[in-house]
Amino acid sequence: MFVNSDFSDLLRIFNGHNVKYLIIGGYAVVQMPSRASPKTLTC
């Protein structure tokens, strides 16, 4: 997966300084396997 180099650099710096962060949105969806099936998301 392509990740903007500025974003990669920022995360590398965060990790190097033990910064806690949360990634939301498209990057998070692609990187993390979903634990919820589509059936659980429908109402």
- Mean pLDDT of the 32-41 span: 60
pLDDT for position 18:
96
**b/e map of 23-40 (b: 16 or more CB within 10 Å)?**
eeeeeeeeeeeeeeeeee
- 42 in any annotated domain: no
- 43 in any annotated domain: no
- 41 in any annotated domain: no
In this prediction, residue 12 has a pLDDT band, given cuts at 50, 70 and 90, of very high
- 38 in any annotated domain: no
Range of 13's domain? 5-33
Does residue 11 register a pLDDT over 80? yes
| Number of domains the chain is built from | 1
Distance CA 20, CA 15 (A): 8
- 20 in any annotated domain: yes
- 26 in any annotated domain: yes
pLDDT for position 30:
66
- 40 in any annotated domain: no
